[in-house]
Structure 1
Amino acid sequence: MGRIETVLFDLDGTLLRYERSPGEVLRASLDRVGTDPLFSVEDYYDRFDEFARRCDSMAELRSECFAALAAENGHDAALGRAVATAFDAERDQSNVELYPRAREVLETIHQQYAVGIVTNGARDAQRRKIDAVGLERWTDTIVIAGQDVPPKPAPEPFERALDALDAIPETAVHVGDSLESDVRGAADAGLHSVWVSGGDTDADGPTPTYRIETIGTLLPAPWNRSDS
């Protein structure tokens, strides 16, 4: 492996998390509307990228996605939209926090490498999260994929970040928690990868270049370790 000069990071589930999980917010939203569950939070996750590609805001994304999921499960689409409105009221996109030691990791990595963020999602929501934790102080470029560029695992978001950093794939690594979006996407774009496994030992999918349990264990960088 050649010298690493550029480090890209995923956002959600890698660097930061909501202070309340999406499942908790969905349950609170259903309670607000006074209805039984219309779909699972996993159903929402599965359809997120599909709606992100054609919606301009998080509010529109949720409204269209929740309406479709409700209708597909035999409920009135309007009820799904009502749950989406309640979800928007419950979910504050700025109510996020960095994972333990993520600040230390970012400060250290940014002193040694060009750093970028490559994340899927609605632009308005992702920007609020980024601003809430002040990520721009440690990053040189940010690519929010899903609208004007296809979402990960498509190679285009990685290529756009590398172009902005005047970097090449062979000397770049992407760090993320998803085997499909992050590891496969990085590989298809020619980058090395670090999978943040969260302790998962049985996941099926593409093989990352490196594997760590949490973002806090990225230091020392695995590509610099003698045992790697």
Structure 2
Amino acid sequence: MTTEPVDTVLFDLDDTLVTYNRTTSEVLDEAFAAVGVDPFFPAEAYFERYEEFLPTTGSIEELREACFAAVADDRGRDPTLGRDVARAFSARRDHGDVRLLPGAREVVDAFTDEYRVGVVTNGPPDVQRPKLAGAGLDGAFETVVFAGHDTEPKPKPEPFHRALATLGGESDRAVHVGNSLASDVAGAHAAGLRSVWIPAYAEDATIEPHYELESLAELAARPWH
């Protein structure tokens, strides 16, 4: 592992810095009820297929409809029914209704004084910008790369390279902080960055991060020092 000092820190957004006040499962259950059908897939099925549709759809509404239609088809249901559920979901999801995760404000405030900081997040601007604003983080970062919209999605290296180019940073002097092994850690390694993994949910350990923390609060100790 490189021993170069760190001068650039990139963050994932969802479930790393912010999270929705209402879970995806809660909104999905309401969407099924609104359409008048019993739930026929869990939120995890949406999460598993989400990134598959990022490069081929122009908005979160299009992505969700395509994803839900595919999930419905996989379960032997009419894809049109999946699209109906997706539209009901979109009508109930407020992307600005988020909260900062514990330690996020303190870390961001401290790091902006010490490092070049940016966000690399999978998701289109119309979804991710309201989250930044709702959490009071709009303007907190020198760059925000909407991977899957501005570039290929994570774990491709392009979004990390885009952020570093904007910040004037080098990959061997940068770290990326995220909650996903498959997206954040794998993407950081593909781009030559060091990785900090703060798990939000269980994942099979197919790749080893450089640093694994239990919470954002531990990031204040700057584990790369």
Give the TM-score range, shorter chain: over 0.9
Q: Deviations over 1:12-49 (max 9, x none)?
A: 01000011111111111111111012322111111111
SS at match of 1:135: coil
* Structure 2 Cα separation of the partners of residues 51 and 185 of structure 1: 18
Farther off after superposition, 69-78 or 52-61: 69-78
* Structure 1 Cα separation of the partners of residues 112 and 125 of structure 2: 24
Superposition deviation, residue 205 in structure 1 = 2.1
Matching residue's letter, 1:4? V
SS at match of 1:136: coil
Matching residue's letter, 2:116? A
Report matched runs for 1:169-180 at 5 Å.
169-180=171-182
Which residue of 2 is the match for residue 144 of structure 1? Answer: 146
Q: Deviations over 1:71-112 (max 9, x none)?
A: 221112221111111101211111111101210110001110
Q: Deviations over 1:178-200 (max 9, x none)?
A: 11111111111110111112486
Identical amino acids, percent of aligned pairs: 47
Question: Retained in 2: the 8 A contact 1:54–1:147?
Answer: no
Which residue of 2 is the match for residue 206 of structure 1? Answer: 207
Q: 1:127 aligns with which of 100, 121, 129?
A: 129
Residue 71 in 1 paired to residue 68 in 2?
no
* Structure 1 Cα separation of the partners of residues 173 and 70 of structure 2: 42
Matching residue's letter, 1:221? R
Where does structure 1 differ by over 4 angstroms across 4 or more consecutive aligned residues? none
* Structure 1 Cα separation of the partners of residues 41 and 211 of structure 2: 35
| Residues 4/154 of structure 1: CA separation in 2 closer, same or farther (3 Å cut) | same
| Residues 72/145 of structure 1: CA separation in 2 closer, same or farther (3 Å cut) | same
Superposition deviation, residue 220 in structure 1 = 1.7
List alignment gaps of at least 5 residues for structure 1.
Answer: none
List alignment gaps of at least 5 residues for structure 2.
Answer: none
Aligned length: 223
Superposition deviation, residue 216 in structure 1 = 2.0
SS at match of 2:138: helix
Question: Retained in 2: the 8 A contact 1:121–1:146?
Answer: yes
Question: Retained in 2: the 8 A contact 1:198–1:214?
Answer: no
Matching residue's letter, 2:221? P
Which residue of 1 is the match for residue 190 of structure 2? Answer: 188
